[in-house]
Amino acid sequence: MTIACYCRVSTRRQKNDSQEAEIKNWLKGNRIAASKVKWYFDSESGKTLNRPEFDRLQKDIFDGRVRTVVVWKLDRLSRRLKDGVNLLADWCERGLKIVVVTQQIELNGPLGRMIAAVMLGLAEIELEYRRERQMAGIAVAKKKGKFIGRKPGTTKAKPQRAKQLKKQGLTAPEIAKSMGTSLRTVWRYLAD
């Protein structure tokens, strides 16, 4: 059995370094050998459970290769209350132990599910507040004439490049990684 350590950042420009360092400290403090640990790193939004490394983690859990999941913060698993609660309920029913390093909690059983539900609810509220603050800031900047934003019709990467890579046999996650864009952007480019 392995211990799964899951790290997630929202964009490719962000790094998992601080999450990984704190999880490694926890592993060291609990005398867990590196040979018993398997790492999963995602650079995708927490608003969806559709992430390549998360899918690999789920497969390893379903196959019985993982009995403990260690995360830096609970919102690394999900930013949506419903998804997160359903996920944790499923994991707890499978007998998984979920360790949240920075919040110093271990989730398993009914009490763990209740604590997780509260924490995931707070994560979703924070996501909504952040969006509201961003929109308020944009509105103020527009009124002052200082909002620049991206020019209409511009893209971070070339849509044609995504189509070329697809023709070469690359999967959407591989295309996103090679182009430095999100998976959602690749799907949009391929749909055009």
**Tokens found for residue 161:** 């490049």
Q: CA–CA distance from 175 to each of 4, 159, 169 (Å)? A: 26, 11, 10
For residue 28, is it within any domain? yes
Number of domains the chain is built from: 2
**pLDDT tens profile 132-169:** 998 898 889 888 888 777 666 556 678 888 888 888 88
Task: For strands 97-100 and 2-9, give the pairing.
Answer: unpaired
Question: Would 84 be classed as within a structural domain?
Answer: yes
Confidence of residue 77 (pLDDT cuts 50, 70, 90): confident
- 123 has a pLDDT exceeding 70: yes
Q: pLDDT by residue (tens digit) across 33-50?
A: 989 999 999 988 888 888
d(CA 153, CA 76): 32
The amino acid sitting at 26 is W
Read off the CATH number of the domain in which 52 is found: 3.40.50.1390
pTM for this entry: 0.61
CA–CA distance, 123 with 56 (Å, rounded to integer): 24
Sheet containing 97-100: give its strands across: 37-43, 2-9, 66-71, 97-100, 105-107
Mean pLDDT of 59-72: 93
CA 133 to chain centroid: 22
Euclidean distance between CA atoms 100 and 76, whole angstroms: 10
150 is a domain residue: no
10 annotated active-site:
yes
Find tokens 């763990």 and name the residue. 112
Helix axes 159-167, 183-191, angle to 10 degrees: 90
Residue 148 lies in a domain: no
Identify the domain containing residue 51 by its residue range: 2-122
More confident call, 105 vs 24: 24
Structure tokens at 32: 């867990």
Flag whether 132 is in a domain: no
